[in-house]
Structure 1
Amino acid sequence: MMLVMASTIMTMIMALAMMLLCKMVNKSSIQNREKMSPFECGFNPKKSARTPFSIQFFLLAVLFLIFDIEIAIILPVVITMKLSMTSKWIFTVMLFITLLILGLYHEWKNGMLEWTA
């Protein structure tokens, strides 16, 4: 019990020492307009860095990432074909592809794949 308490106290002391050291090393710089503005090759930016973007583009990009990850999941399935029973392998692959197709159908029916200007 004494060893646990000593370890806990030492851990807390080390954490506090590191926090204090970081606080002393970190100097708050004077924030002026040049340092707070976005940097574009030394020139003033032509547009605001906080311009809004299209939500449809964001949703399409997220869908692309989801399906891209699904392809990365499908690739090792081919390698496992040699190691597993054929009927279980076919069932698993068909279930996985069916879920992907149903998800794509759902996105299509909700109009998320349509690009509106």
Structure 2
Amino acid sequence: MVDLTQYLPILLFLAVALGLSALFVFLPMGVARLTGAHKPDAEKLSEYECGFPAFEEPRDRFDVRFYLIAILFIVFDLEAAFLFPWAVSLDLTGWTGWATMMTFLAELVIGLAYAWKMGALDWE
């Protein structure tokens, strides 16, 4: 027979986490309904992020170029994230670290030139 009492702390932790998350979600909604703060009208339900109504249906597909720009942004953002620790540890890595980073940057520049030549950065 398997002793399942060793899993009791995990089950208790999950129950407390579920209870607290439900409390943090549903308690403010309940308080808002009880105190009268929940009074939706046309002004409250209007667009607030961009300031004007949407052009299209929100479930429409994005253009592929949007994803290309997003991927390029992530690549160069990660490049910047790699540059800071490299710059801090350059005295430890020496010329080998410098040459490796220059090779990495050269590959990224070649990739950027290729994307630019193929028109991935053009937006209509």
CA distance in 2 between counterparts of 1:75 and 1:12 reads 39
CA drift at 1:98: 1.8
The aligned counterpart of 1:70 is 79
SS in 2 for 1:34: coil
TM-score norm. by structure 1 comes to 0.59
Distance 1:59 1:9 in 2: 44
Aligned length: 108
TM-superposed CA distance for 1:38, in Å, is 2.7
Query: CA deviation digits over 1:2-37, x for unaligned, max 9?
Result: 652321342243245332674355236454323211
**How far 1:97 moved relative to its partner?**
1.2
Any gaps of 5 or more consecutive residues in structure 2? Answer: 57-61
**Structure number with higher relative contact order (C-alpha < 8 Å, ≥ 6 residues apart):** 1
TM-score (norm. length: structure 2): 0.56
Gaps of 5+ in 1: none
Matched, 1:79 2:82: no
**Identical columns (%):** 27
Residue 114 to residue 6, structure 1, CA distance change in 2 (3 Å)? closer
